[in-house]
Amino acid sequence: MITSSPLWSVLVVPVLLAAFTAVAVTADALLAARAAGRRVSPRVLVAPLAEVPRLLAAQRRTTLAPDSLLWRLGLATVPAAGVLAAVVIPFGQVTASRMSVGVVWFNAMEVLTWAGLWMAGWGPNSVLSLVGGYRFVAQGLAYELPLMFALISAAAGAQSLDVAGIASAQGRLWFVVWMPAAFAVYLASVYAFSFLGPFGYPAGRDLAGGVLAELSGPDRLVLQAGRWLLLTAGAAMAVPLFLGGGAGPLLPAWAWSAVKTVAVLILLVWGRRRLPVIRADRYAELAWVVLIPLAIVQALAVALVVLTTGGTP
Amino acid sequence: MTSVVFWVLAPLAVVSGFMVFRFNSMARATFALLISFLASGGLLIWLGLAYLGTVVILMMVMEMVIMAVFMVAYMMNPAGLMPMSMVHNRRGSLAISVAAFALLAAGIFVTPWPHRAGAPPRDATFALGEALMGPQMLTMITLGFTLFATMVGAVVLATHRGRYDRFGDDLKRRPPADPARGGVGQ
């Protein structure tokens, strides 16, 4: 039984999320060093975290006639969305907020990135970052509906919108086993809302960094941290949705949650270097012609199984 | 604690709604409206309607971002670099909106609200779903199909990537002429 912990535990969420994010960026640095043929040394591993004080001390870039209000608001929205989305994710046997509609909350908070990134692109009054912001909106229109159907599949399988309820409904069979299409669509959408890896198009190198083009110092840190926090929140949410939550032999529930979260994170970080960047217009076609029908069929299959057996197959 | 939530969110909703007409930048006006909607969604959650409130937040963020795209595309002065006003008939519209707000707010206070009969449902989301989908199932199904057919019809009429656009009048053109190369089925 997953229980809700007191209100102060909401403050633990950003700390825990940041810790997992640190694991992800360190793993990313390791893979980058190996891909570049450099020797893996402790210096390489701490490099991404050593960036933090450097960026905090670095000078802020200013542009001509920026919309500073929307710019800063948009930048702050991205990490805030990651942390707020993570509030409903159970960790082992406890959850910071056992919200009855946790899945919808996660979806709503992840969608805040749409507004955040568009404002971050609009703010600096610069063509390249503006195009980056628009690219994310186009990408959002493509990834959002398949993601919603993937979330609906898991919720329908457990007959609950409560994330803890979904985790504990997988006692006999993990959802990933009988909802593989929903799981694959979900993982792709995690890349998409954190605009990393194959969905790094809004911050693409062909745009000189897109939404990141005019950012330096603390601003750059906030947006970069935000996308990695979103990736981590997405990976952590995959555990209660599809991988049985904290269930597992021998180890305590929190340890299984941590192990599974790190495993999904490593998979995502590894895949980020393996997959080519996909243009939003091409992904839109794939999403609407292939993924939405696939996700609907998946949700239908889940609904039929639940109706006939009253639970797992 | 609960009244703090109300006194933060309610004025935020009203003030940011008002600021929509004060900003002279389309982008700022759109996101002021979004903040107003987010505060309203927060108030719904505070009232115990978690599902409705969260869905308001979810839908409004997407709607307002898409609206920002169109506002910027269609307005002559999207970024507010030149002074422009968001309202016509400044004094008249202000008087009408303040009067309407006062009338509605007064209505809340003078209505003799009935006392609660029975207890609130344990799961408001479930009760809402049952109220909508139970006795009104036929209406909702008809409504759903009508809306869906309207959307598909509108897209079919507007698209320039239909069968005849891609394969030519005799449907014999290979490869099809697509506005963007690549994609599914090629």
Between A52 and B133, name the one with better pLDDT. A52
Nearest to A290 among B65, B81, B184 (CB): B184
B117 vs B114: CA distance, rounded Å? 8
Residues contacting B29, CB < 8 A, separation 6+: B19, B20, B21, B23, B71, B86
Looking at the predicted structure, is the pLDDT value of residue B186 above 60?
no
Distance between alpha carbon B155 and the CA centroid of its chain, in Å? 20
Banded pLDDT at A282 (limits 50, 70, 90):
confident
Residues contacting A231, CB < 8 A, separation 6+: A21, A24, A190, A191, A194, A196, A265, A268
B55/A contact by beta carbon, under 8 A: yes
Nearest to A104 among B28, B58, B64 (CB): B58
Beta strands in A59-200 (DSSP E): 94-95
Query: Which residues in chain A have Cβ-Cβ distances shorter than 8 Å to B79?
Result: 67, 125
User: Residue B1 in contact with residue B46, Cβ under 8 Å?
Assistant: no
Looking at the predicted structure, is the pLDDT value of residue B185 above 80?
no
Run of H or E including A3 = strand A3-4
If you ran DSSP here, which 8-state letter would residue A194 be given? T
A294/B contact by beta carbon, under 8 A: no
Smallest Cα–Cα separation from A139: which of A149, A150, A147, A127? A147
- Nearest residue in A to B30, CA atom: A115
Looking at the predicted structure, is the pLDDT value of residue B118 above 90?
no
Q: Rounding to the nearest 10 degrees, give the CA dihedral for residues A303, A304, A306, A308.
A: 160
User: Residue A103 in contact with residue A238, Cβ under 8 Å?
Assistant: no
Query: Which residues in chain B have Cβ-Cβ distances shorter than 8 Å to A292?
Result: none
The 3-state DSSP class for residue A230 equals: helix
User: ipTM of the assembly?
Assistant: 0.91
What is the average pLDDT across B22-30?
Answer: 86
Q: Could you tell me which residues are beta bridge partners of residue A95?
A: A4
- The number of residues in chain A equals 313
Banded pLDDT at B106 (limits 50, 70, 90):
very high
Query: Which residues in chain B have Cβ-Cβ distances shorter than 8 Å to A290?
Result: 184
Q: Which residue has the tokens 């217009």?
A: A281
- Nearest residue in B to A136, CA atom: B65
Q: Which residue has the tokens 């633990």?
A: A12
If you ran DSSP here, which 8-state letter would residue A197 be given? G
- Nearest residue in A to B81, CA atom: A65
Looking at the predicted structure, is the pLDDT value of residue B83 above 80?
no
B35/A contact by beta carbon, under 8 A: no
B28/A contact by beta carbon, under 8 A: yes
Predicted pLDDT of residue B181: 67
Smallest Cα–Cα separation from B33: which of B22, B20, B51? B20
CB pairs under 8 A between A and B: 71
Run of H or E including A4 = strand A3-4
Instruction: Tell me the shortest Cα–Cα distance from B118 to chain A, in angstroms.
Output: 22
- Most confidently modeled range among A105-109, A161-165, B126-130, B161-165: A105-109
Q: Could you tell me which residues are beta bridge partners of residue A3?
A: A94
Banded pLDDT at A311 (limits 50, 70, 90):
confident
